[in-house]
Every structure is written in C-alpha cells, then in structure tokens.
Amino acid sequence: MENANMTPREIVAYLDEYIIGQNEAKRVVAIALRNRYRRLQLPKDIQEEVMPKNILMIGSTGVGKTEIARRMAKIMGLPFVKVEASKYTEVGFVGRDVESMVRDLVFASIALVKEEQKEKNAEKIEDYVLNKIVEKLIPPLPKGASEQKVEEYKVASERMKNRVINGEMDNLKIEINTPKRQVEVEDGNVPVEIIKVQETIAKVFSASKENPKKEVTIKEAKDLLKIEASESLLDMESIKQEGIKRAENSGIIFIDEIDKVAVSSNSQGRQDPSKEGVQRDLLPIVEGSLVNTKYGSVKTDHILFIAAGAFSLSKPSDLIAELQGRFPLRVELDSLDEEALYKILTQTKNSILRQYEALLGVENVKLIFKDEAIRALAHYSQMANEKTDDIGARRLHTVVERVIEDISFEAEKYSGESVEITESLVKEKLDVLVEDSDVTRYIL
C-alpha cells in the first residue's frame, strides 16, 4: 500500500492520465479517499465515529464512472469490487444475496494481501523452488559424506542452480509431487455454514491421499513449485486477518446500475416489488452491519460505497429516502462531446489507439493514425452516440475496430510495412453505416 497516503491533488493528477474531464467527480472521489487515510491516523475512539461519505455518481454509460473508481483503487492498493445492482433481488425472488458483495470484497482483499506477501517473499520462494529442482537433478549426499564431497556437492549445486535460472534445463523432465491447489469458494448464494461443511469434507478426502506425483518439464515445475512454496512459506492465517482488516477499513464497493432498482414515480402501481426489496436489503449493509463470511464476521461500517447510474428513466429521488441519505455526496458526470472523444483517443495513457498499435506490432505491422483520421473517428463516434444509444467512450472501441478490421484480419499481408489510417479510409468504412440509422443501431 505504498500509495495509500496520496494527496487529493496527486490522486486527481493520476486519474487525469487515464480519464478526460470529469473534474468534479475526480475531486469528490479524491477527497473521500484522503479522508479514509486521515481517519486511520486518528485515535481509536474517534476513528469509530468518523463514517465514510458514500458517493452517488450520476451520468450516462461510458463517461468514466467505473474507470474513476477502479483506477483510484488500483493506484492506492485498495480492495475493490464492482457489482451490478440489477443482479440482486429481494430475498425470496430469484437472484443473488446482497450480502455477497461484502464476501466478494473480503475475497478480493485477501487475494491482494496474498500477492503483496508473495512479492515480499519473492526471493525465499525462488530459493525454495530452485532447491527443490536441484535436489531432483543432483540427489543430496548421504549422511557422513567427507568434507571434500560436501564441497564438491556445493559447487555442483551452484552450477546447476545457474543453469536452471538461465533456462538451460527448461525442457528436461523431472518427477515432482503436484501441490494441492486451494479451491476458494465464495458464492453469495451459498450460506457460509454450507461452504464450511464442503471445505471440511474436501479436507478429509484430500488428507487420505498424498499429493500425486507427476512428470513435468522443469519449466512447468517452476510454476507448480511456486504454489507449493507459497503454501509453505506464507502465513495464511495472518494474511486472512489482514485481508479482513483492509476490507473493513479500506474496502470500496462500486454498485453500478443503481438506477435499475429505483422505482420511478411515473411507473403505474409500482409493478416490481423486487426493486424496492433490493434497496431495503442494501440499506443495512450501507448503514453498517455484520456480515458473515467463511473467514469470519466483517463490519461494513467503514467500507466506502460508490453507487452509479444513468438515471435516464428515473431520478435519484426515486430511491427510498433512507438509502438516499446514505449517499450524501452526489456528483453529475458530463456527457462526452466530440472534443472529449478526440482527447480520449490522443491524450490518455494506453489509449485504444496505442493498444491497437501494440497489438498489430506483434505481427510486425506499424499502424500510423493521421490526426485528421483521429478527428474523424471522434466525429463518427459522436454521431453514432446521437443517433442511437449514447454509450460514451465505449463507442470508440466499436468504431476503431470497424475501421481497422480488414488490416487486422489480413495482418500477415502487411507484415514489415507501415499502414496509415487516413481520414478517407475512416470515411469509406463509416460513412454509410452512420448515415443509415437502422444499420447504425445494429453495427455501431
């Protein structure tokens, strides 16, 4: 968590590299994150009183709502899950149990801590793997071997280690005990008690037989033995405890499509009781409650919830009043105009154009996007968004893919060449499609 104490200004500067505009949303999110860091510096008694200010993002699809939340969690090393409100339904209806979002967060948090521990112990894990492989290639000396033999063994082992590290032995086969893979079950629809029973049964059966032996190449053995090394060297109990702690104090749950469970005041007689039911099921989790997971009870009081929705057919006030009150910070994201789409193509880090250049570079094809062509791509994307559903920046993927489809399909024909994407090529590929609104609906 090396970036956990980034200032709001630093967070916004980082987000600017990937997301164009939406300055208000970035600022609100940055302050909310900084307040979480500030809270953890306070005395324990005050910490409990400082509740997170949950955020409601309002804006059409593809304008950056999810990307802002996902990017900020990534740079700060925070546990993060994205769920869709429309996938949940009230208990008694078919759907997912709302509490499963907290179990998913704990699962993600433990995975995050485990990866950190693997990185910290990378040298130990590497040594473990090397020693195991060398033992198979040069069997250990018997007890009571002479000092000369011991020295010779050390020299031979070091030489062999270097050969294994350099990949010289990768194709040689050795026999190893295949590690038992830990199967993690985290299903919101399965009660925690049933999961624990399933795990107990699995342990009883696995304990009755040793790890099966398998002949594999040394290259394969390196990966398989890393799993064994992690299980042997890492303290899984402390990893789980740290994972729960992080989920409770630093976790972020992004609830997308919250508008899909709002009951519009225009709807006749509130035809869908499951929508309001989902909101009422969400309420205790967002307000703060205890959720049972396979790793223990988790308090949701200090989890940051970010809800998002387009609210095209409903409005935030159509949510039940108690749930509205739990999202005090509201921010409206701007729709993307042609200039914003152009900037997304040219100014964002790892933009879609750079991605396609890299992908075709694998085939030894150098793609060159002329500036007029990029402007045309932004223009046609904007036109398509106006004529059909506005899907924001996601339209760029469809449009760019359409333009370079033939080049991508016949990449071997262009190998070793530079291929210019010109304005005329963009027009040739997209003019007819965008003009015909019926075709646009299905193709763009």
Instruction: Give residue 211's pLDDT band: very low, low, confident or very high (50, 70, 90).
Output: low
305: pLDDT strictly greater than 90: yes
Within this chain, do residues 392 and 319 fall inside the same structural domain, yes or no?
A: no
Tokens 């106006």: give the residue.
Answer: 386
* pLDDT per position as a tens digit, 372-392: 999 999 998 888 888 777 788
Q: Which of 144-148, 151-155, 211-215, 311-315 shows the lowest mean pLDDT across its residues?
A: 211-215
Residue where a domain terminates, one of 233, 257, 277:
233
Instruction: Judge whether 443 lies within some domain.
Output: no
Within this chain, do residues 79 and 27 fall inside the same structural domain, yes or no?
A: yes
Cβ atoms of 311 and 58 within 8 Å: the answer is yes
Within this chain, do residues 193 and 256 fall inside the same structural domain, yes or no?
A: no
Mean pLDDT computed over 264-281: 70
183: pLDDT strictly greater than 50: no
Instruction: Judge whether 238 lies within some domain.
Output: no
Of 131, 214, 126, give the one whose Cα is nearest residue 176.
214
**CATH number of domain containing 319:** 3.40.50.300
| 303 token code pair | 């989890």
Instruction: Give residue 246's pLDDT band: very low, low, confident or very high (50, 70, 90).
Output: very high
Mean pLDDT computed over 327-350: 89
Instruction: Judge whether 314 lies within some domain.
Output: yes
Within this chain, do residues 166 and 144 fall inside the same structural domain, yes or no?
A: yes
Residue 222: per-residue pLDDT: 82
Cβ atoms of 83 and 256 within 8 Å: the answer is yes
Residue 208: per-residue pLDDT: 47
Identify the helix (H) or strand (E) that includes residue 59: none
pTM of the model: 0.78
434: pLDDT strictly greater than 70: no
Three-state DSSP class for 5? coil
Looking from the CA of 48 toward its CB, the CA atoms found within 13 Å total 3
- 199 or 131, higher pLDDT: 131
Strands (E), 383-440: 418-421
Instruction: Count the residues in the chain.
Output: 444
Strand-pairing partners, residue 96, are 88
Within this chain, do residues 229 and 131 fall inside the same structural domain, yes or no?
A: yes
- 48 or 9, higher pLDDT: 9
CA of 216: how far to CAs of 129, 171, 209, 240, 422, in Å? Answer: 14, 9, 20, 32, 51
Q: Which domain holds residue 426?
A: 338-433
212: pLDDT strictly greater than 90: no
Of 331, 351, 350, give the one whose Cα is nearest residue 341.
351
Q: Which of 269-273, 403-407, 410-414 shows the lowest mean pLDDT across its residues?
A: 269-273
Cβ atoms of 369 and 422 within 8 Å: the answer is no
97: pLDDT strictly greater than 90: no
111: pLDDT strictly greater than 70: yes
Instruction: Judge whether 390 lies within some domain.
Output: yes
Residue 174: per-residue pLDDT: 77
Percent of the chain with pLDDT over 90: 22
* pLDDT per position as a tens digit, 37-81: 888 889 988 888 888 889 999 988 888 888 888 888 888 888 999
Within this chain, do residues 197 and 48 fall inside the same structural domain, yes or no?
A: no
Within this chain, do residues 290 and 211 fall inside the same structural domain, yes or no?
A: no
Of 65, 105, 60, 84, give the one whose Cα is nearest residue 261.
84
What DSSP line would sit under 296-360, residue for residue?
EEEE-TT-EEEEEE--SSS-GGGS-HHHHHT--EEEEPPPP-HHHHHHHHHHSTT-HHHHHHHHH
| 167 token code pair | 């990949």
Within this chain, do residues 320 and 369 fall inside the same structural domain, yes or no?
A: no
Instruction: Judge whether 439 lies within some domain.
Output: no
- 296 or 440, higher pLDDT: 296
Percent of the chain with pLDDT over 70: 85
Tokens 């398998």: give the residue.
Answer: 214
Residue where a domain terminates, one of 233, 259, 289:
233
Residue 334: per-residue pLDDT: 85
End-to-end Cα spacing for the chain: 41
Instruction: Judge whether 114 lies within some domain.
Output: no
Residue 89: per-residue pLDDT: 63
Q: Quick one: angle between helices 423-435 and 394-409, nearest 10?
A: 120
Q: Which of 197-201, 210-214, 288-292, 314-318 shows the lowest mean pLDDT across its residues?
A: 197-201
Within this chain, do residues 344 and 300 fall inside the same structural domain, yes or no?
A: no
Instruction: Judge whether 113 lies within some domain.
Output: no
Mean pLDDT computed over 289-303: 91
Tokens 């910290």: give the residue.
Answer: 120
Cβ atoms of 329 and 349 within 8 Å: the answer is no
Residue 166: per-residue pLDDT: 83
CA distance 119 to 115: 6
| Residues ≥6 apart with Cβ < 8 Å to 443 | 402, 433
Tokens 């009883």: give the residue.
Answer: 204
Within this chain, do residues 278 and 372 fall inside the same structural domain, yes or no?
A: no
Within this chain, do residues 229 and 251 fall inside the same structural domain, yes or no?
A: no
352: pLDDT strictly greater than 60: yes
- 411 or 149, higher pLDDT: 411
Instruction: Give residue 204's pLDDT band: very low, low, confident or very high (50, 70, 90).
Output: low
Instruction: Give residue 364's pLDDT band: very low, low, confident or very high (50, 70, 90).
Output: very high
Instruction: Give residue 243's pLDDT band: very low, low, confident or very high (50, 70, 90).
Output: very high
Mean pLDDT computed over 359-363: 91
Residue 436: per-residue pLDDT: 65
CA distance 161 to 126: 11
Residue 353: per-residue pLDDT: 92
CA of 270: how far to CAs of 96, 162, 365, in Å? Answer: 22, 71, 57
**What is the DSSP-derived secondary structure letter of residue 210?**
P
Residue 103: per-residue pLDDT: 92
**CATH number of domain containing 362:** 1.10.8.60
Q: Which of 144-153, 264-273, 336-345, 367-376 shows the lowest mean pLDDT across its residues?
A: 264-273
Q: What is the largest CA-CA distance in the chain?
A: 92
Residue 79: per-residue pLDDT: 92
35: pLDDT strictly greater than 80: yes
- 164 or 382, higher pLDDT: 382
Within this chain, do residues 30 and 80 fall inside the same structural domain, yes or no?
A: yes
In the structure, how many helices (H) and strands (E) does the chain have? 18, 11
Please give the tally of structural domains in the chain. 3
Q: Which of 28-32, 47-51, 135-139, 196-200 shows the lowest mean pLDDT across its residues?
A: 196-200
Instruction: Judge whether 151 lies within some domain.
Output: yes
Residue where a domain terminates, one of 213, 233, 253:
233
